[in-house]
Each structure stands twice: as structure tokens, then as C-alpha cells.
């Protein structure tokens, strides 16, 4: 008996020593790191390098669980990117309805919600609230882009979530940050206008213009994803979650920051690289629309190419970058411009840009946009063919890199989507189809949240996961 007790005591002592050793700085750590470990109690030492082949050591965000409360585009863009990186995205949708774009914009929904699982929960139903509480305890990150105040009205305030799971990161997209417009609902083009993009896009003589790229929605989703990953990293040191918020206005402004630079330059004189300057048109008080002027200080413009009369996309972007001015002059048959004082140096060219681009266009009109690309690149002259969406959809190289992917869907059939634009050598992206509405409700409730089969049947009958009046989840 005594020997047994002694052995048990020894084993317990060994366990404690092992636990303490895990917290104790190892000899390999730097003094600074060791100090951090002592203070925080969190071991930050990296594990030894994996010996698994590249791409077979799991995905970057494996093990991260996302409670995905997003809809339309900004939030879904963010969670789809996290899903591409391996996070498990559990998309919570309203029973019977789901994300509003499921019905209104079906292909749009499909393209933005791949690599996610769908669970239907009525977040205002008492049983639904109980399920959400379990999900909050179970997940690492909650992502939402409801209208301001909607999450609070569901009872999911920051205080409640933080108390329920102090490690949870709560990430939100809103139209505006705190201020006069904080309560406004916002869509893509509203953000483009409020973020300074529309006032600086378009032609000087015309009205402000929104761009085709979804810089308000997808742009802000991208910003949010970066915030989430940073918060996950910080959580490894602090052990606590935090709020991550991105306003669409801020996201657009961040993408339009060069125009804010120009606003400040304007107080010191005209913006000499804008073609308006060369044309002698005075500047007003705010940064003007600059048409197709290049923003980088190297004059550029969109020029017609062979076939422009019938093909609306037979154009190329052409940049008269200073270091390749000589080869440009030779190509377009104006070798004398290399030494002519009116053309030889960049400042001399500024008042003559329109004439210069008209002359270059006489040359580009004799070539297809792809021929221009090929010829100019032999001389390091930066040009860009104006690619139509048809050309992009059919581009084999984009398929080969997984940037454009064909996915099969049980109700839609085959469709194209944009795969992960971020390529990682050890975290390989699989692009999976979007889920049917509520497709994973049972799986998540039973396998993830631990409800028994009887409890699941009771939840089904409660109306918390089914459309009001119906008792069964419908996959639509």
C-alpha cells in the first residue's frame, strides 16, 4: 500500500514538474524571449520545422473556427479568404431564407461562399440563442457585416460575447466608423463615393464615376481578413480576443491614398503629371478626375489598338516611362524625339502629352493589343492589354494557377469562380463549392456542438432551425 502511495506521489510530482517545465524558458530561448515567456506564461517558441513535404503539412489556418454571420459581399469575401486558408467557416443563415443573395443573386452567392458550411439558426428564437451561445464558446472568430446595431439587437453584444468566450475575436464590417454616418446602411457604391474613389475617377469633363472593381465590398473584406489574422496572432501572446472593425469608407480611402497625397501636393502648386496641367487647364481646390492618367508619376493613357472600331476592348494601356523613352521613340518611328529638346526630357514632354499619346496611338492602331504587349515587353516598355471578362474567363494561364477555377455545384451545375489570389508554398488552396442552405445544420449541431440525436430532434421541432411554420430544414 505504502509503496503504491509512494509511486502515485512520484507520478504526480513528475506531472507537476512536466507542467512547470512547459512554462519554463528553455536554454535555446533568447533572454528577451525568456522574459516575455515568464511575464505572459505563454510559450512563443516555434516548433521544430515540419519534415512533411511542402503542401502536406496542413493549411495555414487549420484548426481556426469561424462563426460566419456574414451576408452579401464584404463579409463573405473575408470569410471565403479565411476558408481558402483552411479555416472552418460555419455560416449562420436565417432558416428558409439564408443570405439574401441566395435568392436574389444566385451566382454571386455561389462565388462568394465556397469553402464554407451552412447552418440555419433563427438567432432571435430562444433555442437559437442557446445554439449560438454554444457556437460562440466553440469558435475562435465571429465575423459579421450586419447593419449597425443588428448584432446587439440579437443580444450578441461585445460584452456578452467576451464574457461567454474571452478568447473570441469579433470582427465587423460597417459602412462608416464612429461619427455622423455611423448608423447608415452602406453598399459598395456608397463606400466608393464616401471613400474618395468616385470623386477622383472618371473624366474631368464628366460626372464622378464608380469603378467596376468592388473596392468597397471585397476591398474591405480583405482588410478585415488581415485584421482577423493579426488578432489571432496577438491572441497567442495575450490569450484574449478583441474587436476588429473595418469601415468601408476607411477601406476605400486606404486604396485611394495616393489621391490624398495629391490633395496635399495641390496646396503647393499644380499636379504636373496630370494631363490637365499640360493642357493649361487650371486646378480647383480638390484633386480632379484624371481620366486615364497614370497615378504613378509616369505619364500613361489608354490607346486604341487594331480592331478598335468593332471590339470595345481593343485597347492598351501605354506608359511613357522615362528610362525607356528611347525605345518608345524608335518603335513609333520618331527617333528624332530622343534628342529634340521639346521631347527628350520628361518635364519638356508634359505640355505635349496629348500629342505624344496621339502619335503613339497611330502605331498601336496597327497592332493588336497582344502584339503591342509582346513587342513592348521586349524593350521593357510597360503596357497592359485591356482584357475583357470573356478573355479572362478563357485565359488558360489563370486556370493553371488556380486564380480562375471551375467548380461543380449540385443545383447550379458548373460555374467559374475566383480562387485564392494569394499563393502560398505550404498552404495549398482547395476551392470547394458553396453549401446548400442549412446543408450542415445536423452535422454541426451533433458532431461539433455535442447535441444528442434526441436533442437534435427537439431542436428541429422547436422552430429554431427551420423556417417559421415548418419543422424540417430544407436544403434549397
Residues annotated catalytic, as ranges: 217
Neighbour tally for 100: CB within 10 Å:
13
**CB of 149: closest distance to ligand CAO in angstroms?**
7
The helix or strand, by DSSP H or E, that contains position 413, with its residue range, turns out to be: strand 413-418
Q: Which is nearer to ligand CAO, 174 or 433 (CB)?
A: 174
Q: Which is nearer to ligand CAO, 94 or 367 (CB)?
A: 94
Q: Which is nearer to ligand CAO, 222 or 290 (CB)?
A: 222
DSSP string, 45-102: PPPPPP-SPTT-S--TTTT-EEEEE--TTHHHHHHHHHHHTT-EEEEEE-TTT-STHH
Q: Which is nearer to ligand CAO, 144 or 448 (CB)?
A: 144
**CB of 220: closest distance to ligand CAO in angstroms?**
7
Contacts of 364 (CB under 8 A, 6+ apart): 303, 304, 305, 316, 318, 372
Contacts of 192 (CB under 8 A, 6+ apart): 198, 201, 210, 211, 215, 216, 252
Take residue 166 and report the three cell numbers written for it.
474571452
Q: Which is nearer to ligand CAO, 179 or 341 (CB)?
A: 179
Neighbour tally for 279: CB within 10 Å:
11
SS (H, E, C) 145-174: CCCCCHHHHCCCCHHHHHHHCCCCEEEEEE
Neighbour tally for 362: CB within 10 Å:
12
Take residue 192 and report the three cell numbers written for it.
466608393
**CB of 92: closest distance to ligand CAO in angstroms?**
6
Cβ–Cβ < 8 Å for 241, 227: no
Take residue 280 and report the three cell numbers written for it.
493649361
**CB of 108: closest distance to ligand CAO in angstroms?**
10
**CB of 174: closest distance to ligand CAO in angstroms?**
5
Take residue 46 and report the three cell numbers written for it.
516555434
Contacts of 367 (CB under 8 A, 6+ apart): 305, 306, 375
Q: Terminal CA-to-CA distance of the chain, rounded, Å? A: 66
Identify the bridge partners of residue 316 per DSSP, sorted by sequence position: 303, 385
**CB of 125: closest distance to ligand CAO in angstroms?**
8
Q: Which is nearer to ligand CAO, 121 or 161 (CB)?
A: 121
**CB of 48: closest distance to ligand CAO in angstroms?**
42
Binding site for ligand CAO (CB under 6 A): 72-75, 92, 94, 100, 121-124, 145-147, 150, 153-154, 173-175, 185-188, 217
Q: Which is nearer to ligand CAO, 74 or 165 (CB)?
A: 74
Amino acid at each position: 500500500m505504502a509503496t503504491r502511495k509512494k509511486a502515485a506521489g512520484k507520478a504526480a510530482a513528475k506531472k507537476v514538474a512536466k507542467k512547470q517545465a512547459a512554462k519554463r524558458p528553455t536554454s535555446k530561448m533568447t533572454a528577451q524571449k525568456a522574459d516575455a515567456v515568464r511575464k505572459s506564461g505563454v510559450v512563443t517558441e516555434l516548433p521544430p520545422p515540419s519534415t512533411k513535404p511542402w503542401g502536406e503539412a496542413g493549411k495555414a489556418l487549420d484548426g481556426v473556427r469561424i462563426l460566419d454571420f456574414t451576408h452579401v459581399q464584404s463579409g463573405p469575401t473575408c470569410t471565403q479568404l479565411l476558408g481558402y486558408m483552411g479555416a472552418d467557416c460555419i455560416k449562420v443563415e436565417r432558416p428558409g431564407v439564408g443570405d439574401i443573395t441566395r435568392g436574389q443573386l444566385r451566382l454571386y452567392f455561389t462565388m462568394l461562399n465556397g469553402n464554407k458550411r451552412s447552418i440555419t439558426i433563427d438567432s432571435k428564437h430562444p433555442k437559437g440563442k442557446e445554439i449560438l451561445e454554444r457556437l460562440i464558446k466553440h469558435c475562435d472568430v465571429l465575423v459579421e457585416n450586419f447593419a449597425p446595431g443588428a448584432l446587439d439587437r440579437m443580444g450578441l453584444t461585445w460584452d456578452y460575447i467576451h464574457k461567454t468566450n474571452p478568447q473570441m475575436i469579433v470582427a465587423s464590417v460597417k459602412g462608416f466608423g464612429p461619427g455622423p454616418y455611423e448608423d447608415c446602411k452602406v453598399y459598395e457604391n456608397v463606400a466608393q463615393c464616401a471613400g474618395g474613389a468616385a470623386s477622383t475617377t472618371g473624366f474631368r469633363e464628366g460626372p464622378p464615376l464608380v469603378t467596376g472593381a468592388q473596392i468597397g465590398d471585397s476591398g474591405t473584406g480583405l482588410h478585415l481578413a488581415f485584421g482577423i489574422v493579426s488578432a489571432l496572432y496577438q491572441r497567442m501572446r495575450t490569450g484574449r480576443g478583441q474587436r476588429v472593425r473595418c469601415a468601408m469608407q476607411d477601406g476605400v480611402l486606404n486604396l485611394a491614398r495616393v489621391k490624398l497625397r495629391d490633395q496635399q501636393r495641390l496646396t503647393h502648386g499644380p499636379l504636373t503629371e496630370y494631363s490637365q496641367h499640360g493642357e493649361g487647364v487650371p486646378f480647383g481646390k480638390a484633386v480632379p478626375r484624371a481620366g486615364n492618367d497614370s497615378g504613378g508619376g509616369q505619364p500613361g493613357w489608354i490607346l486604341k489598338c487594331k480592331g478598335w472600331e468593332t471590339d470595345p476592348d481593343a485597347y492598351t494601356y501605354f506608359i511613357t516611362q522615362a528610362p525607356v523613352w528611347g525605345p518608345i521613340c524608335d518603335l513609333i518611328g520618331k527617333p528624332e524625339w530622343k534628342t529634340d529638346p521639346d521631347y527628350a526630357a520628361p518635364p519638356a514632354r508634359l505640355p505635349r502629352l496629348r500629342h505624344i499619346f496621339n502619335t503613339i496611338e497611330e502605331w498601336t492602331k496597327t497592332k493588336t493589343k497582344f502584339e503591342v504587349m509582346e513587342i513592348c515587353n521586349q524593350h521593357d516598355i510597360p503596357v497592359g492589354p485591356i482584357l475583357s471578362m470573356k478573355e479572362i474567363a478563357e485565359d488558360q494561364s489563370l486556370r493553371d494557377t488556380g486564380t480562375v477555377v471551375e467548380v461543380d455545384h449540385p443545383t447550379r451545375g458548373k460555374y467559374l469562380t475566383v480562387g485564392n489570389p494569394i499563393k502560398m508554398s505550404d498552404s495549398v488552396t482547395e476551392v470547394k463549392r458553396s453549401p446548400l442552405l442549412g446543408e450542415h445544420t445536423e452535422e454541426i449541431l451533433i458532431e461539433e456542438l455535442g447535441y444528442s440525436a434526441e436533442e437534435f430532434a427537439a431542436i428541429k421541432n422547436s422552430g429554431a432551425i427551420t423556417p417559421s411554420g415548418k419543422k424540417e430544414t430544407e436544403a434549397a
